[in-house]
Amino acid sequence: MIDHPKARLAILISGRGSNLQVFIDACASGELEADIALVVSNKPDAAGLQRATRAGLATGCIDHRDYATREEFDQALVDALLPLQPDLVILAGFMRILTPVFIRPFYGRLLNIHPSLLPKYPGLNTHQRALDAGDGEAGVTVHFVTLELDGGPPVIQARVSVVAGDTAESLAERVINREHIIYPIAARWHLQGRLKLKDEGAYLDGDPIPPTGIQYHENLA
């Protein structure tokens, strides 16, 4: 029997790395048959780097302030990741707008998580925007990264109800709990070869995924 090497993940962060921790735990528990090959931050003081170091992971910092253009920064990211041949690149709170220089080499194996029910509220301040609009629910979307900002095909969404007295902070707290559930699911589908990005959109098990993604429920496999 031949032992197949585990899939390799690269994870990009800018902050505390709460979603990074979810992937650390998922890899350790066997929920994901993968190893984290590298954790990279664009901020040298990102708390997530310390989290990764404590877990024994390789880390790097590529400070965007050291580069004159977004393209030069993105090329430095490519140079750091390509030699690792990652099967999947995970954006886990990576607060940079990526250019085609980075997206094209990893196209189809690049996932992001966004704290809204895309296509609603791309960009920032998503929870406050949902409250200001009087929405009855908010949520989070895992999507493929394409050349359109927060516009890649959704893979999976999780919804939470907006309740009386909610603030952006209280809503964010409930949403992030759902983030931690659905992001590893999407990654697992991809590593199993079930999730694909095609010209027409995202597909799971050969079937097109709805424009707002697969809706999370507790029995989702």
pTM for the model stands at: 0.94
H helix or E strand, kind and range, residue 114: strand 110-114
Write down the pLDDT at residue 2.
44
Q: Could you tell me which of 72, 70, 92, 73 has the C-alpha nearest to residue 9?
A: 92
pLDDT at 221: 72
Residue 91 has a pLDDT of: 98
- Mapping DSSP to helix (H, G, I), strand (E, B) and coil, where does residue 2 land? coil
Q: Phi-psi region for residue 17, left (φ > 0), alpha (ψ -120 to 50) or beta?
A: left
Q: How far apart are CA 9 and CA 68, in angstroms?
A: 28
Buried b (16+ CB within 10 A) or exposed e, 65-102: eebeeeeebbbbbbeebeeeebbbbbbbbbebebbebb
10 forms bridges with which residues in the sheet?
38, 89
- pLDDT one-digit tens code per residue, 52-72: 999 999 999 999 999 999 999
Quick one: 126 exposed, middle or buried, by C-beta within 10 A (0-12, 13-18, 19+)? buried
Instruction: Determine the Cα–Cα distance for residues 61 and 14; give it in Å rounded to an integer.
Output: 10
Q: How far apart are CA 49 and CA 46, in angstroms?
A: 6
Residue with tokens 């997206």: 103
Q: Which residues of the chain have pLDDT under 70?
A: 1-4
Domains of the chain (ranges; CATH) run 1-106 (3.40.50.170), 113-216 (3.40.50.170)
* Model pLDDT, residue 3: 52
pLDDT at 21: 97
Per-residue model confidence (pLDDT) at position 192: 96
Catalytic positions, please? 114
